[in-house]
Structure 1
């Protein structure tokens, strides 16, 4: 196979040669930026690769990375590529069971352990057969520490990988069970990262901030990948408490986020100014422009030429709201299996808000049976690791990947995601309900933080709702009236079999820790169905019920 694009190994050589003294990585530690140049990254990556060979590892061995985003994560990723090892990223929020599963399933012989919030609870997931390599952070005991590894051996000579060589095994976030390991080649990843940078117009002058999990393909392709081919500077976040300050320091040209964070930004802005006052100010031409600039500056996004949103469905109302303060957010769609480069609304078109954009360069899309979106590109994964049946089931006879997403494509080629094939369920009426369109419409109620529509085998579908923080300060009757009106408005637009029975307001927040959210903050629908489906049978006529109002009899059943 002819290699169409340079690999990250070749690009690292190139940037070290043409702009070696330029700062590449900026890592805040104890509120001071620690800067690393392209030449230094190149040198450390080649030294770490030499150290791994000195420790007895061989080309093709799998080596995991368990850490929050940091400069060392990037350097290790390069080192593994330089040495011909296969990287296996693990989400930094993964529990011990998930860590154990990924390490064992991937047959990883070592794990780099770095910046973690709860290392002691995760440590039991690393068995004694797996060598632990430190990244310079406290949390989990390791056999070798960072500086020791950098001094263990001389730098190796660069050997460029072939396009068909396996670069990484990326495990999905596990929204429907055990994660699957998507095998990604150098050719597929390099093509996607190159195309992303080309599509977005990245240059060495760009600044980005890396904070979404690097174990997820979106951050790996859009932030790590664009830095490889664009040659820009990457900033990191020190902690959740310093997040806003770190974004302000980075002042990124390109900022990528998820719907939940965009929603939190919006709620914080409204809480500071007041919704009515903000609407009034924004409606006054000169004052509105001034207020909008001030908000963007406070967010640290006043110089961002591209704002991105992906990973989960986002309410069109939220995107229109940001448009009022001069922030056009590009919605995109992609998957682990297609290296995250699939569709995006860029260049931005306001009239296409509500879609996930149009196909990227060299991307083929079509609609298959049951409205399933089928996909083909040079960025497709090779296979699911050690799961040949799942691999075969995921592909059509003509080489298209079955995405599992249901979609519609308009006359301009813009794609709207209308559901997930496996998310659809039958109510007691015997007809299928697609929950995603209902959720998108209901999400426009500002009292809602997260929601999930369930109802398999029940008389009506019901929306499970986690309230926004601001809603807890309001009288329950006021929130109830708002949710009831929203439920009725949504039901009025649905076919009779898909009208909502009502809303159940849940008590316990949905988090990664209680297994409702994936590490990328997607809702695990099957978990909520198991917990709540038996409790919603009597909710009908747009009733709004709090979980603490459910009868003991209903809970017991």
Structure 2
């Protein structure tokens, strides 16, 4: 193999496994840095040769355990260099990786371990190890990654104290590579089975779509247990040969981004909203708008904000996982950060559509189908998608597999949508999120929520109304907003309520806004690990508040 490698053929078919790509970089760029792991403020580089050597040691130890071929091996950890190493080692040893969100609660963790029949699990940094780890069966062999305070059967140093696996073993592209459990915003998580061929088709073809190449730098901080980070960051990096930086902790996030100076940057709506609120906390909107209106100052202000975020060298900004309010995309566009929305699911390797390149006139849409992906709208208005990166099946669940696939091979996404005359797709709501009011009228909450988010006081919103005379909006204010006088907040919120209602049909009009004095987080069970609102959990948590009658347009809930 030469250093320049055609990873897909003329028919877009992926030609090499991630292992073959690792060996390629090991042979052509052995000393080049591949991964950068921060620890106590020090940035530890890992070359391709080092990563390959460590992966071979992991593979050697796994083969010595004499597990049946295709055994499920768990990875329960936050993103780190060892995550990549372990994933590669599992591939080399002929097994199947089962990533688990580092925020997974005890019930979810125990369910996945038993459902997937995990034979060994690697454990790294977790959100709440004291409450999570008791759910791990006592007889399960566990290996602690090399970070302090991780209880396990075996320490990392001891596990890799062996000779590397000989040779460069590869895998058939039709082998099962991984089982990724959905984050479970409703019901038990489903195990999505992907072969090397399906998931790597998306990763390899994303290089052209996202212009990811060997000179790029990316941050790996969104959960690797989630499909987007796995495909567009980890697996894509094997094919592109780009450099990957990790984050030491939430507290060091900004420091680590500035050190990386990413050239490609992917985030999720919740974090983009946080970034905006952070900027407005230092420079109020009125002052920012004034400075941006001055020609000679405009570019300086944009540059300063981009540098403050650590994104001054990024040429592509993306958002996925959930819809990003058009108002927030427009806000970032004005400061020189054009965010391209993308769309995909675990079931189709997070590779459906994208607004790349960014287009101002397409804000609010999720873009055009990637090359090789076919998107259609069913007679019920559902977005359905077909491509080589669709999943193999749901693990051990042929009934749900049959339910989600059409006879002609399209994946039923559960999203409602429409396609314009240029092929750009707009999501108009989730089928399962649509609710019926007391009057028997259906309401789609997503477009209403997007309008409410135009108010920069608001950080989180959820519109509900099942069985109510009219829908209501639950919302959480930003940290900066709560510092303002209550009368000012009420005036602005009521203004937003009136503006939103003025464009809604009578059955959709919001009766009132409920201001919740509790941030919705993963820890309190109101967000999924990918930071989506658990709508049904939220409704149950605030059921008495939602059902209570209020005369005021803005109600404060303590």
TM over 0.5, shorter chain: yes
Q: CA deviation at 1:3?
A: 6.6
Which residue in 2 is equivalent to 1:221? 231
Which residue in 1 is equivalent to 2:285? 275
Q: CA deviation at 1:263?
A: 1.2
Q: CA deviation at 1:445?
A: 1.0
Which residue in 2 is equivalent to 1:554? none
- Alpha-carbon separation, structure 2, partners of 1:277 and 1:498: 35
Say whether the 8 Å CA contact 1:374–1:403 is kept in structure 2: yes
Which residue in 2 is equivalent to 1:331? 341
Which residue in 1 is equivalent to 2:76? 66
Deviation per CA, 1:261-315: give whole Å up to 9, x if none.
1111111111112221111111111111011111111111111011111111111
Secondary structure of the corresponding residue to residue 469 of structure 1: coil
- Alpha-carbon separation, structure 2, partners of 1:139 and 1:184: 33
| 100-109 or 268-277, larger mean C-alpha shift | 268-277
For residues 236-251 of structure 1, the aligned pairs below 5 Å read 236-251=246-261
Q: 2:296 aligns with which of 286, 303, 306?
A: 286
Secondary structure of the corresponding residue to residue 318 of structure 1: helix
- Alpha-carbon separation, structure 1, partners of 2:135 and 2:386: 36
Deviation per CA, 1:31-63: give whole Å up to 9, x if none.
011111001111111111011111232320000
In the alignment, is residue 397 of structure 1 matched against residue 401 of structure 2? Answer: no
| 117-126 or 154-163, larger mean C-alpha shift | 154-163
Which residue in 2 is equivalent to 1:522? 532
Q: CA deviation at 1:118?
A: 2.2
Say whether the 8 Å CA contact 1:460–1:540 is kept in structure 2: no
Aligned length: 547
Deviation per CA, 1:519-544: give whole Å up to 9, x if none.
11100011112223443345577711
Which residue in 2 is equivalent to 1:458? 468
Secondary structure of the corresponding residue to residue 536 of structure 1: helix
Say whether the 8 Å CA contact 1:113–1:140 is kept in structure 2: yes
Say whether the 8 Å CA contact 2:54–2:164 is kept in structure 1: no
In the alignment, is residue 513 of structure 1 matched against residue 555 of structure 2? Answer: no
Secondary structure of the corresponding residue to residue 64 of structure 1: strand
Secondary structure of the corresponding residue to residue 5 of structure 1: coil
Deviation per CA, 1:103-140: give whole Å up to 9, x if none.
11111011100122322221111102311012112333
Deviation per CA, 1:319-361: give whole Å up to 9, x if none.
1111111111111111100101111000111111110111001
Gaps of 5+ in 2: 1-11
Q: CA deviation at 1:157?
A: 3.0
Say whether the 8 Å CA contact 1:404–1:422 is kept in structure 2: yes
Deviation per CA, 1:380-422: give whole Å up to 9, x if none.
0111111111110001111100000111111111111110011
Say whether the 8 Å CA contact 1:500–1:542 is kept in structure 2: no
Q: 1:211 aligns with which of 221, 241, 254?
A: 221
Which residue in 2 is equivalent to 1:182? 192
For residues 337-416 of structure 1, the aligned pairs below 5 Å read 337-416=347-426
Q: 1:101 aligns with which of 105, 111, 122?
A: 111
Q: CA deviation at 1:202?
A: 1.5
- Alpha-carbon separation, structure 2, partners of 1:81 and 1:110: 14
In the alignment, is residue 76 of structure 1 matched against residue 72 of structure 2? Answer: no
Say whether the 8 Å CA contact 1:456–1:533 is kept in structure 2: no
Which residue in 1 is equivalent to 2:209? 199
Say whether the 8 Å CA contact 1:23–1:38 is kept in structure 2: yes
Say whether the 8 Å CA contact 2:13–2:201 is kept in structure 1: no
Gaps of 5+ in 1: 549-557
- Alpha-carbon separation, structure 2, partners of 1:123 and 1:537: 38
Secondary structure of the corresponding residue to residue 63 of structure 1: strand
In structure 2, relative to structure 1, the CA distance for the partners of 1:21 and 1:374 (3 Å cut) is same
Secondary structure of the corresponding residue to residue 480 of structure 2: helix
- Alpha-carbon separation, structure 2, partners of 1:243 and 1:107: 35
TM-score normalized with structure 1 length: 0.96
Q: 2:181 aligns with which of 171, 178, 181?
A: 171
CA RMSD of aligned residues (A): 1.4
Say whether the 8 Å CA contact 1:462–1:503 is kept in structure 2: yes
In the alignment, is residue 503 of structure 1 matched against residue 513 of structure 2? Answer: yes
- Alpha-carbon separation, structure 2, partners of 1:320 and 1:539: 36
Which residue in 1 is equivalent to 2:58? 48
- Alpha-carbon separation, structure 2, partners of 1:149 and 1:544: 58
Which residue in 2 is equivalent to 1:436? 446
- Alpha-carbon separation, structure 2, partners of 1:535 and 1:295: 39
In the alignment, is residue 137 of structure 1 matched against residue 147 of structure 2? Answer: yes
In the alignment, is residue 427 of structure 1 matched against residue 467 of structure 2? Answer: no
Deviation per CA, 1:470-500: give whole Å up to 9, x if none.
1111122221221121112111211111111
Secondary structure of the corresponding residue to residue 229 of structure 2: helix
Secondary structure of the corresponding residue to residue 380 of structure 2: helix
In structure 2, relative to structure 1, the CA distance for the partners of 1:539 and 1:195 (3 Å cut) is farther
Say whether the 8 Å CA contact 2:125–2:150 is kept in structure 1: no
- Alpha-carbon separation, structure 2, partners of 1:20 and 1:199: 27
